[in-house]
Structure 1
Amino acid sequence: MSFYTSLNGLKNAQTDLGVISHNIANAETNGFKKSRTEFADIVVGSAFTNPKLIVGIGAAVESVTQSFALGPIEQTGSALDLAINGDGFFTLVNTVNQETLYTRNGSLSVNEAGYITDGSNNRLQVFPTDATGTITSTTPTDALIPATNGTDASGNPIDFAGITVADDGAITASYADGSNIVVGKVALASFIAPQGLKQVGSSNWVANGLSGAASYGQPSTVQYGSLLSGALERSNVDIAEELVGLITAQRNFQANAKAIDTATQISQTVIQLRT
């Protein structure tokens, strides 16, 4: 029995080491959220077992829980670097499979077609607005920046000149003649149980039954948080904390390995006595 108990301990320590290593590896990943391993003891008995004589048989990994605590905010100066001061998520759509993704990484840019995208060409979702910036639909759509805003008196196109994002999510495109157009308001998502979101890499998550469906709202309202333009949220990994956890997990691994070694020596002694 002690062999299997310690073997489970080795596997658990290995899982813990893997989670901590993943956290440390992403200490510089924008929008990354650290995880921690949670264990549960295993106790087996029956209705006829004396509760005073029940011996546990080890531990198991109960869950790998994500922490969505806010990470440090770094000022960058780029208008399309966005950080959320709150609990919301940016909403993106994968243009290949139309999958909806959620992220805290607000490092965005405008691609050659005028869409606002992340580094993987996933398109940012916004609420459509009228010319005054009033939301006209609560169904998010792709954020698209028109390359021109009509023509001037000579018939020449009025080219795009710049972009700004307000703390309420309003994306305003500026043009060479000084005109401005609000192209939409950033659609933020919120979940009743964000710890249930499924990680899919690149600081992105997808919704599932554990997280519940996304509810959408604009920044600076209720639980969604406000936007900070010209800033990025860094990883919430604390290197010092992770290194202490790494040492603890290593000692846990060594202790279980030593228990197996001790059990082996006892078994060898018993076998030698019988012979």
Structure 2
Amino acid sequence: MSFNVALSGLNAAQKDLDVTSNNIANVNTTGFKESRAEFVDVYAASLLSSSKTKVGDGVLTAEVAQQFSQGSIKFTNNSLDLAITGNGFFATVPELNSLETSYTRAGQFKLNQDNFIVNSQGGHLLGFPVNADGTSASVSLSTAEPIRIPTASGAPQKSSEVDIRMNLPAGDSFISSAPGNFDPEDPLTFNHSTSVTIFDSLGDSHIMTYYFIKDDPSVNPNEWMLFASVDGKPIDLEDPAGGGTNPVGGNISGPLSTGGGLTGARLVFDSSGDFQSQIPTAANGGIITSDFSNHLPNGADTSQTIQIDFNLDPLGPNPNEPTQFASNFEVTSLQQDGLAVGRLTGIDIGTDGLVRATYSNGTSEPLSRIAMVNFANEQGLKQVGNTAWKESITSGEALAGEGGSGTFGTINSSALEQSNVNLTSELIDLISAQRNFQANSRALEVDNQLNQTILQIR
């Protein structure tokens, strides 16, 4: 019996050595979780045996239990390197249409040839679909799908509105030849000008310029005339009255140097410099250009118009309105809502797992939200290698959720979770297991010597 007891001790010591050696071997494996050999004694007694004198029957390996404590975080320069701080696992599938889900804490992800986010084994990272505002459309593992980074450029958006804030100098003199001889190429025919880059429906850029001309103070005090051009070519401002005349008297359309006529607009201030009205006034409160029929030869939408919004507030002075003070000409805001064609410039991943693509035209687009998975019993997961686990009966069903919500940890981009192996502790355990092995070997040797002695009795 003592021979079997010593043999079981050798087997247990060998198992302890194996587990410790495996932990040490994976000390630099990203996302690795150390294991611990757990042993129980063996005790068997019959109904009539005396428990007071019964000796145990050895030792047995009960379980090699994984320890899912947090590993330290190592920061990198790759935005697709992901680390989980707290509970949870990443979910991956080996192929696009596969339902064979594996779970991992190793976040060494990259793009494959089809721009899907994958790990070094080719497993596709799963994510939840998201709405345009970045909220999750569904938080269910059954709806999660492999995350793909788009290769297409960001779609252009044609300009439809320009917002202007400025100060027009109250002391400017009236140009007697204006507006009849207004010429956008002759700075002597207007007082001031400013420009903004706008975009057509194809994302092509154009320079839209606004020209301000002080009206005759003896006729229309505190009033300015406004004209516009696109790429240096004058464009009419929409005139609800028709005929190219100002609705409140006074023709503000004058013959250009080309011999044509141009319809402009009028900005009216009061004696304190407050913006009072704009003429003509569209139904939505802005001054609108005519269509771009003669300004877009590149095949873009020629029905495009642009509303020039001066933020008129009929209730009184407003900081967003233009002013007419005794100060220099100053443009404090000049913004438009169009977008050029954008190329993909980067991928941002938030702590909640939201994957957002950013484009060179200043826009960003939410793509997906990285699926997080947790289990009632992490130690019940079945190891499958490559720092991955699979669901088992003892682990319970996979519970999906978003990073940072409930019991789920947060996701750190440009970071990796290192192995949770403590090398110092493992070396000490290695020495302890070695001593245990030597002691059981000695017990086995003594048993063998006793057996030899008994066999030699005559």
TM-score between both structures, scaled by the size of structure 2: 0.58
Asked if residue 126 in structure 1 is aligned to residue 127 in structure 2, the reply is yes
Instruction: Tell me the equivalent position of 2:153.
Output: 149
For these two proteins, the number of residue pairs brought into alignment is: 274
Q: Which residue of 2 aligns with 1:180?
A: 364
**What are the within-5 Å matches in structure 2 for residues 234-245 of structure 1?**
234-245=418-429
Offset, 1:178: 2.5
CA offset digits 1:30-86 (Å, max 9, x no partner):
000000100000011012111102110100000000000001111113211111111
Counterpart in the other structure of 1:107? 108
Contact residue 341 and residue 361 of structure 2 kept, 8 A: no
Shift of 1:176: 3.0
User: Which of 399, 403, 406 does residue 222 from structure 1 map onto?
Assistant: 406
Alignment partner, residue 199 of structure 1: 383
Structure 2: unaligned runs, 5 residues or longer: 157-201, 205-339
Bigger radius of gyration: 2
Distance 2:43 2:154 in 1: 73
CA distance in 2, matches of 1:250, 1:226: 40
In the alignment, what sits opposite 1:116?
A: 117
More displaced, 233-242 or 173-182? 173-182
Partners of 2:154 and 2:344 within 8 A in 1:
no
Q: Which residue of 2 aligns with 1:136?
A: 137
| Identity within the alignment, % | 41
Q: Distance in 2 between matches of 1:193 and 1:21?
A: 25
Equivalent in the alignment of 1:95: 95
Q: Which residue of 2 aligns with 1:168?
A: 352
Q: Give 2:80's aligned residue.
A: 80
Compute the displacement of 1:107 (Å).
1.3
3-state SS, counterpart of residue 148 of structure 1: coil
CA offset at residue 150 of structure 1?
5.0
Structure 1 Cα separation of the partners of residues 444 and 370 of structure 2: 56
- Contact kept, 8 Å, 1:148 with 1:158, in 2: the verdict is no
Segments of structure 1 that go 5 or more residues without pairing to the other structure are none
- Distance in 2 (alpha carbons) for counterparts of 1:3 and 1:124: 53
Alpha-carbon distance in structure 2 between the residues aligned to 1:179 and 1:7: 69
Is the 8 Å Cα contact of residues 73 and 233 (structure 1) preserved in structure 2?
yes
Q: Secondary structure at the match of 1:78?
A: coil
Shift of 1:225: 0.9
Alignment pair present for 1:25 and 2:29: no
Verify the 8 A CA contact 1:148 1:175 in the aligned structure 2. no
2:393 to 203, 209, 212: 209
Q: Which runs of 4+ in 1 moved over 3 A?
A: 149-152, 154-159
Q: CA deviation at 1:135?
A: 0.9
Task: Determine if contact 2:81/2:416 at 8 Å carries over to the other structure.
Answer: yes
Q: Distance in 2 between matches of 1:91 and 1:157?
A: 34
